[in-house]
Amino acid sequence: MSAALPHAPLSLLSPSSTPVALRLDGVTKRHGAGGDAVVALDTMSFTVKKGEFVCVVGASGCGKSTMLNLVAGLDTPSAGKVTVAGERPALMFQESALFPWLSVEENVAFPLQMQGLSRKARAARVAELLRLVHLEKFAHRRPHELSGGMKQRVALARALAQQAELLLMDEPFAALDAMMRDHLHSELEALWQKTGLTVVFVTHNVREAVRLGDRVLLLSSRPGRLVAEYQVDLDRPRRIESPEVARMARTITDRLLEAARAAA
């Protein structure tokens, strides 16, 4: 476990030869114009390496979701630059947002159909993805027949169907109970290790961030600024209730509270 890193160029954290999946350079986002403008993000800069699992934490109003929207291409920065390697990222929300009139396999097949894959190719890829999230026995169920955790696994399979190398996750497990959340942490970690995906995971749960991340980025509130970074040097697999996770989470939480007081 390492202490908070100063706000320094990310080249200090990793060799320059390491492939980069995502880079933010001085990104600022303002809503509105003139004296009524609200700054959601202020000159934010960081880099995510290919295959890295990065968690982003911060209090409400720190611009976490705004940042994801910019990276996903759903919005544009007011200043600065967002650079994503490869195809457009896949985005997974807190709500599964499944089409209720479609079955599990039809929901997962939807982005594949948009890509123009043949019916045979779609069927093979859907079967592969459902096996990956352990839902192959539920292929013909409708969303209302599934638990909350199962819906999120379908949403994850649908996100993976986009064949993106970068997966953006906006508090995807926040609405689930602790037991289901812990189960999905393990599922997600195993899937990430198997596929080599790059993951940017936004959460307000500091323990969740330490449980999952290779690195934790801490944002201040109003406007959102990167105020600290933590390299999570803990062996995997981790348990969210382990003393090591708890200790690091306390360190980050103390810094989060300090940032919140400064912004008040």
Of 163, 180, 197, the one marking the end of a domain is: 163
Apex 195 CA angle, 192 and 197, nearest 5: 60
Tens digit of pLDDT for each residue in 102-124?
999 999 999 888 888 888 888 99
- Between the alpha carbon of residue 94 and those of residues 169, 174, 264, the distances in Å are 8, 7, 27
Of 108, 137, 163, the one marking the end of a domain is: 163
Q: What is the pLDDT of residue 251?
A: 94
Q: What is the pLDDT of residue 144?
A: 93
Asked whether residue 50 falls in the same domain as residue 31, the answer is yes
Of 141, 163, 185, the one marking the end of a domain is: 163
Structure tokens at 83: 């650079």
In a domain, 2, yes or no: no
Query: Average of pLDDT values for 192-202?
Result: 92
Query: Average of pLDDT values for 152-180?
Result: 88
Query: Average of pLDDT values for 33-46?
Result: 84
Asked whether residue 80 falls in the same domain as residue 112, the answer is no
More confident residue, 87 or 153: 153
* Separation between Cα atoms, residue 34 and residue 22, nearest integer Å: 31
Query: Average of pLDDT values for 38-63?
Result: 89
Structure tokens at 23: 């880079």
- Report the number of distinct structural domains present in the chain: 2
In a domain, 214, yes or no: yes
Cα torsion through 46, 47, 53, 58, rounded to 10: 10
Q: Are 129 and 197 in contact (CB under 8 A)?
A: no
Q: Which residues of 163-179 are buried (b: 16+ CB within 10 A; e: fewer)?
A: ebbbbbbbbbbeebeee
Percent with pLDDT over 70 in the chain? 92
In whole numbers, what is the pLDDT of the chain averaged over residues?
86
In a domain, 1, yes or no: no
